[in-house]
Every structure is written in structure tokens, then in C-alpha cells.
């Protein structure tokens, strides 16, 4: 099925109410180790959800299962109109549809050191969307402007600060015009000051209406930017709800224990 024409035919109002992401009973095991157990989660267009929880609770694995970098071992992942069922590996066409809809940003920016900042961003447009070089670079420059780094276009990443490199990684992820952005602790490797730069950029993406699922330990970001907070522990969702309520008045003992330890 041609996803985009299907979505357009469905009309804008329907699109706004359609979940961008829906996880039904998603599970992941590595051998006998259960890392994710019965994860259910829905994000609608424009929603921002923070995933918090102790180290090893399964947040990175969950993000990787959405993107199919790790295949889930049970359940179903739906992104836009695409549905991927555990045990039925996606076709190449489905994987490529998925990769066009989901942008991912990791703890480490992972830029190509030998390419300019602009090429780091524009290459995604050529490789994933098949744009020509001139068009890809014009769009890449606009994206660098969006993240406040047009002046860095012709530098190599090593000349950029850590915070700038992470903002370039965000520009690269935005290049494909994803419907959903996944962030895995994007500020965890940064000092406070560059961390704030990156969080400010993420806040402005949220203000622009980007749908975002963010694994983070930045509780202030979780509280003030996200619509909802999901608390994970031992591979399960132990609490989810409105950000302020979950952070300041969690109802489950497990979430309370985690928050007492970090607040």
C-alpha cells in the first residue's frame, strides 16, 4: 500500500486523530531474559511523551523495537498506517517506509567525521528520500538554520562543540520529515550548558507540533515539555499519566521508589 496517498486520502482531520504510534503488548526477550513485557502505548499527532525509569528498565530497547533495530519478540508496533507484528519480519519496503517515518537521536551524535556538517545532514535526504544533491543541500541548509547552526555548514563535526554536534544529529534526523521522533537520552553525555541548548531545541520542536517519544533523566524537561510521562521499571510500564502528577504524585510504589531516589 502507498502509505502517503492513503493518509492524504484520509484527510487532515482524520490524520490528526490517528495515532502516530501504537504499541500493543510489545515484548522483547534476549534468550531467557525478558527485557520488555506487555508494553502498551499510544502517541497521537503532536504528543510529547517522556520515558523515565532506572537504568536497565528497558527504555533504549523499547525505542529500538519501535524502529525495528531490535525486532520485538511479541506484540505489534504500528507507526502511521504501517503495522509490524512480532514473528513476521517486515519486508524491505515496509522497513524503508518505517525509516522514512521515524527519526532517531541517540546519546552520541554519531556524525561522519570526514564529511562537512551540511553533508552529514543532506546525505540522509539523498539516501533515504532519493533527492538530488543540490536540492538536498538547500534543504540541509534550511535545517541547519532551524537548529541555529547554518554558520557551521562547511565545517567538519570535530570543529563543533558537543552540544552543536547533537543539534546537527537532530537536524539530520529531521531531514526526512519524520512523523515521529525518538530520542534516547540525547543529553546524557553532555555537560549542563550544552545539555540546555539541546533541551531548548527539543522544546521548540515540541512547540512546533512534532510527535516525540523521549527517554530521558531530565525530569524538568519531562515535567514542563511532555504531555505525559511513562515510568518503566524491570521492562514494564509501572505508571503513566499527566507529567506533573506522575512526577510529583505517583500512584504506584515502584514509580514512587524511583522518583524518591532521583528527585
The partner in contact with residue 35, picked from ligand ADP, Mg ion, none with C-beta cut-offs of 5 to 8 angstroms by kind, is ligand ADP
Chain positions contacting ligand ADP, by CB under 6 A: 30, 33, 35, 53, 55-61
| Nearest CB to ligand ADP, comparing residues 60 and 226 | 60
Render 125-176 in DSSP notation, one character per residue: HHHTT---HHHHHHHHHHHHHHTT-GGGTTS-GGGS-HHHHHHHHHHHHHTT
Least distance CB 64 / ligand ADP (angstroms): 8
Least distance CB 60 / Mg ion (angstroms): 3
Q: Residue 245's CB: how many other CB atoms inside 10 A?
A: 13
Least Cα distance to 30 among 53, 61, 5 occurs for: 61
Distance of CA 7 to CAs 41, 64, 100, 175, 176, Å?
21, 25, 14, 20, 17
Least distance CB 131 / Mg ion (angstroms): 32
Q: Residue 260 is placed in which grid cell? A: 524518591
The partner in contact with residue 157, picked from ligand ADP, Mg ion, none with C-beta cut-offs of 5 to 8 angstroms by kind, is none
Q: Verify binding: residue 165, Mg ion, rule CB under 5 A.
A: no
Residues in contact with 133: Cβ distance below 8 Å, sequence separation at least 6, in sequence order: 122, 126
| Nearest CB to ligand ADP, comparing residues 205 and 232 | 232
Q: Residue 136 is placed in which grid cell? A: 538536498
State which of positions 49-108 bind Mg ion (CB under 5 A). 60
The partner in contact with residue 58, picked from ligand ADP, Mg ion, none with C-beta cut-offs of 5 to 8 angstroms by kind, is ligand ADP
The partner in contact with residue 122, picked from ligand ADP, Mg ion, none with C-beta cut-offs of 5 to 8 angstroms by kind, is none
Residues lying near Mg ion in the complex (CB under 5 A) = 60
Amino acid at each position: 500500500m502507498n502509505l502517503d496517498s492513503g493518509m492524504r486520502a484520509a484527510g487532515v482531520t482524520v490524520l490528526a486523530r490517528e495515532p502516530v504510534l501504537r504499541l500493543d503488548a510489545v515484548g522483547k526477550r534476549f534468550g531467557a531474559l525478558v527485557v520488555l513485557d506487555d508494553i502498551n502505548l499510544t502517541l497521537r499527532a503532536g504528543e510529547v511523551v517522556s520515558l523515565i525509569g532506572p537504568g536497565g528498565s528497558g527504555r533504549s530497547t523499547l525505542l529500538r523495537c519501535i524502529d525495528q533495530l531490535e525486532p520485538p519478540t511479541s506484540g505489534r508496533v504500528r507507526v502511521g498506517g504501517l503495522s509490524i507484528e512480532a514473528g513476521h519480519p517486515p519486508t524491505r519496503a515496509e522497513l524503508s517506509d518505517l525509516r522514512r517515518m521515524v527519526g532517531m537521536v541517540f546519546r552520541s551524535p554519531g556524525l561522519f567525521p570526514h564529511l562537512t556538517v551540511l553533508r552529514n545532514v543532506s546525505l540522509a535526504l539523498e539516501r533515504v528520500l532519493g533527492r538530488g544533491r543540490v536540492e538536498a543541500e538547500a534543504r540541509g541548509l534550511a535545517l541547519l538554520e532551524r537548529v541555529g547552526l547554518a554558520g557551521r555548514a562547511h565545517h567538519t563535526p570535530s570543529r563543533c562543540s558537543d552540544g552543536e554536534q547533537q543539534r546537527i544529529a537532530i537536524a539530520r534526523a529531521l531531514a526526512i520529515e519524520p512523523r515521529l521522533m525518538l530520542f534516547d537520552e540525547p543529553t546524557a553525555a553532555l555537560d549542563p550548558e550544552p545539555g540546555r541548548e539541546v533541551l531548548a531545541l527539543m522544546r521548540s520542536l515540541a512547540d512546533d507540533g512534532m510527535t516525540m517519544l523521549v527517554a530521558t533523566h531530565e525530569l524538568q524537561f519531562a515535567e514542563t515539555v511532555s504531555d505525559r510521562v511513562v515510568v518503566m521499571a524491570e521492562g514494564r510500564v509501572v505508571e503513566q499519566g499527566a507529567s506533573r502528577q506522575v512526577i510529583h504524585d505517583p500512584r504506584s510504589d515502584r514509580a514512587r521508589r524511583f522518583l524518591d531516589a532521583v528527585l
